[in-house]
Amino acid sequence: MSVRRLAEASVQPASFAFNKANTAAAKQWIKKYPKGREQSAIIPLLMIAQEQEGWVTKAAIETISDMLGMPRIRGLEVATFYTQYQLNPVGTRAHIQVCGTTPCMLRGSEALMDVCRSKIHHDQFHTNDKGTLSWEEVECLGACVNAPMVMVFKDTFEDLTPERLAEIIDLYDAGKGASVTPGPQNGRTGSEPASGLTTLKSEKAILKSTRDREAREAAKAAKAAPDAIIAAPVPAPAAPPVAPSNASKPKTDAAETSPALKTPSKAKVAPAAEKAASVSAPPHSAANANKAAPEVEKVSKQRSGPKKRAEPSSAFKAPETKQPTAKPTKKPV
């Protein structure tokens, strides 16, 4: 996988703003999270920004982080972690993400990348001459049972051959990407066996056996208690709403977690000052290396497992574990 960095400053726009429709969509997403947890909307908001701009710009990351009241470094961490976000301008008609993780690799993803190299550009993240197509290698996209596969925007194309991928790329290049049906490209449905279903072939038979079983159970229940009135289940009272928990919130007052901090500090800490503020590691001691700390030692207990039974003398012993038997010594005559 490639290193994920922001695009060069020369291609970064100076500012970012959601258009009217996307502003409404962003507000809707933020409302889905409990009060105090609005930062969780960073994933969908970055996605909306990408759909609007074609890729995720630095200005978009910063604007969205500010909107959600979170440090910009946190927004940058999310955007640079997930390969669903394009940090550089990509092809205007398609950006092909080829999965190169083991199952796809074993099923021929290298050949798919060769197709991208010959049809789009030799290198990842470079557009073709017309600027319509680009490609990259990514880690597992979660469709391993239909390997090898590629993803284009939000669609996955699975069970690919180099020839089929070449056709799909040509269709996208011609502006006919919408005509390609996503999913398996070899005719199978979902991830059923490539040769077709081997079990559960008849839905009718399955439904009939379920209905027959239910009818038998109902008849049995009626026979056991002919006069009993089966009361309708009473719905359980609704649980009171639970306030959001702070249990997983890191307990830290580190400067970089402050929402007030907009950019990483430019101030450099002198090495001497940093050393003075650090706790140095204790010197190595071979004797102490295998000992637990006293507080751990105090609470640790010997595990009481099953008692070991004495092995019967007739138990089988592997030849190599048998003790050599002493030769009988000759009795003196």
Please, which residue, 106 or 218, has the CB nearer to ligand FES? 106
How far, in Å, CA of 190 to CA of 145, rounded? 9
How far, in Å, CA of 173 to CA of 180, rounded? 12
Residues contacting residue 213 through CB under 8 Å, at least 6 positions apart: none
How far, in Å, CA of 152 to CA of 133, rounded? 10
Tell me which residue of 83, 73, 210 sits closest to 135, measured CA to CA.
Answer: 83
Tokens of 128: 């073709």
The helix/strand count (H/E) of the chain reads as 10, 5
How far, in Å, CA of 104 to CA of 144, rounded? 7
Please, which residue, 7 or 140, has the CB nearer to ligand FES? 140
Work out which of 141, 150, 165, 169 binds ligand FES, going by CB under 6 A. Answer: 141
Please, which residue, 13 or 142, has the CB nearer to ligand FES? 142
Helix (H) or strand (E) holding 151: strand 150-152
How far, in Å, CA of 178 to CA of 293, rounded? 63
Pairing mode of beta strands 155-158, 150-152: antiparallel
How far, in Å, CA of 304 to CA of 282, rounded? 34
Interface stretch with ligand FES, choices 11-19, 25-33, 144-152, 201-209 (CB under 6 A): 144-152
Work out which of 48, 70, 94, 149 binds ligand FES, going by CB under 6 A. Answer: 149
Work out which of 144, 160, 168, 169 binds ligand FES, going by CB under 6 A. Answer: 144
How far, in Å, CA of 211 to CA of 203, rounded? 12
Residues 184-213 that bind ligand FES (CB under 6 A): none
Beta bridge partners of 98: 137, 150
Q: How far is the CB of 142 from ligand FES (least distance, A)?
A: 6
Residues 48-77 that bind ligand FES (CB under 6 A): none
Please, which residue, 99 or 169, has the CB nearer to ligand FES? 99
Please, which residue, 41 or 147, has the CB nearer to ligand FES? 147
Work out which of 73, 140, 166, 180 binds ligand FES, going by CB under 6 A. Answer: 140
Interface stretch with ligand FES, choices 3-11, 54-62, 142-150, 205-213 (CB under 6 A): 142-150
Tokens of 62: 């910063």
Residues 95-134 that bind ligand FES (CB under 6 A): 99, 101, 103-104
Q: How far is the CB of 186 from ligand FES (least distance, A)?
A: 15
Work out which of 45, 48, 120, 147 binds ligand FES, going by CB under 6 A. Answer: 147
Q: How far is the CB of 191 from ligand FES (least distance, A)?
A: 11
Q: How far is the CB of 103 from ligand FES (least distance, A)?
A: 4
Contacting positions for ligand FES (CB under 6 A):
99, 101, 103-104, 140-144, 147, 149
